[in-house]
Amino acid sequence: MEPAHWLPHRPPFLLLDTMVSIEPGIRASGLWTLRGDEWFFPGHFPGRPTTPGVLLLESLAQCGGVAVLADERYRGRLPLFGGVERARFRRQVVPGDTVTLHCEMTRLSARAGKGHGIASVGGEVAAEADLLFVLADLT
């Protein structure tokens, strides 16, 4: 199913193309294919386009957001970043790469949570981090 079914994000800031698997409230996996015409490549970096690490973290957070919002207990809520811990960037992500995103919830309550995300390309880890979030009301 399309990530926009659960997430309020829309292009150009929807950084997931498709969901591969979803276990509501537990984990989710998705894909993001970098075509090369994304808005950030011309400036990051001219002559050597590289996906910004912060956008890899955002794509992981969006993947985790699907896991949370697919759980009917959290429908109508909005997961917002509360923090990032132990972020590591291990491989560049460039035009033509398809990033496999996986986020597993390690803690989830009525008001906040934490998940561990891994972004990989071709089986190689590109980025990983612990993502902290708070759940806000949409209204």
Map out the domains of the chain with their CATH numbers.
3-137 (3.10.129.10)
**Averaged pLDDT score across all residues of the chain:** 96
Question: Annotated catalytic residue: which of 5, 9, 44, 102?
Answer: 44
Phi, psi of 39 (to 5 degrees): -60, -25
Q: Could you read off the pLDDT of 61-87 as tens digits, one per residue?
A: 999 999 999 999 998 899 999 999 999
> Residue 93's pLDDT band (boundaries 50, 70, 90)?
very high
Q: Could you read off the pLDDT of 13-33 as tens digits, one per residue?
A: 999 999 999 999 999 999 999
Could you tell me where the beta strands, DSSP code E, fall in the chain? 18-23, 27-33, 77-89, 98-108, 112-121, 124-137
C-alpha dihedral (31, 37, 38, 39), degrees to nearest 10: 180
Q: What is the identity of the amino acid at 70?
A: A
pLDDT at 139 exceeding the cut of 80: no
| Model pTM score | 0.96
116 catalytic residue (yes or no): no
Contact present, 81 and 61 (Cβ < 8 Å): yes
pLDDT at 138 exceeding the cut of 90: no
Q: Which helix (H) or strand (E) holds 63?
A: helix 53-69
pLDDT for res 106: 97
- The structure tokens listed for 108 are 């989830």
